[in-house]
Copies of this chain bind each other. A is one copy, B any other.
Amino acid sequence: MVKYPSGSSAAYRKAAEEPKIRKKYTHRENVNFSDRGMNLEQMINESNKFYRIKEIAVVHKKPTPIQIVKVDYPKRSRAVIKEAYFRQESTTDYNGVYQGYYLDFEAKETKNKTNFPLKNFHEHQIIHLEQCLKQKGICFTIIGFTVLNRYFVTPASKIIEAWWDKDKSSVTLKEVEKWSIEIKSGFQPTLPYLKAVDHFIADRKLNNGK
């Protein structure tokens, strides 16, 4: 018997009912009602919830690391953090497990239409992806060209290589297209990125990588 953390299941049911209402606002042919104005992070979080509830994969976004300095404990109410600072992250934002495989990825979006600036990825994220690749994790990035409503799942190795290239400050949309598996945003899940992961796993099996 699996009991879901309180709220998850209800929240999921609520999400499932939403498109019935939203559908009537779809007035342009190329507008995908399913992403409902969500940003990339929200799309991935919703997809992860869907994958978790359906027992397809367990992937979570990591919380932002905070250095807590001062906490008040008011009587009869919960603790209030009164002074804290953002800490440097040392990993990517997302990791989890899918059919025995370790997944690790970072997601970034841009309003650009023709290229993706590499400064969006930070050194600690690149290094973490390198470390996880050495441990045979399935590592990738999800790049969203939001104005184009196009989403790409790119093997981390390609982004790492471009990132360390001193002559490169961005990768072109053409490069991203060549290296990646494009994922169409949909309804359930909002961003079915595991379709791309299935390709990576199939490639790995072909190459006898595992």
A: residues with CB less than 8 A from B are: 1-5, 52, 55, 57-58, 60, 62-66, 68, 78-88, 90-91, 95-102, 104, 123-124, 127-128, 130-132, 134-137, 164, 210
Contact = CB atoms under 8 A, between A and B. Distances in A.
A68 B97 CA distance: 28
Contacts of A68: 64, 66
B66 A63 contact: yes
A41 to B, nearest CB: 15
5 contacts: A5-B127, A81-B83, A81-B86, A82-B82, A99-B136
A136 to B, nearest CB: 3
Q: Which 4 A-B pairs have the closest CB atoms?
A: A100-B136, A63-B65, A97-B102, A81-B84
A3 B132 contact: no
Contact of A62 (B4, B62, B87, B130): B62
Given A64-B63, A66-B84, A135 B58 contact: yes
Instruction: Indicate how many identical chains form the complex.
Output: 2
A202 to B, nearest CB: 16
Given A97-B132, A123-B3, A79 B83 contact: no
Nearest to A90: B5
Contacts of A78: 85-86
A130 B60 CA distance: 15
A100 B102 contact: yes
Contact of A127 (B3, B62, B88, B100): B3
Contacts of A210: 100
B66 A5 contact: no
A34 B182 CA distance: 50
A22 to B, nearest CB: 27
A2 B81 CA distance: 37
Given A58-B131, A65-B63, A66-B64, A80 B91 contact: no
Given A100-B210, A135-B58, A124 B5 contact: yes
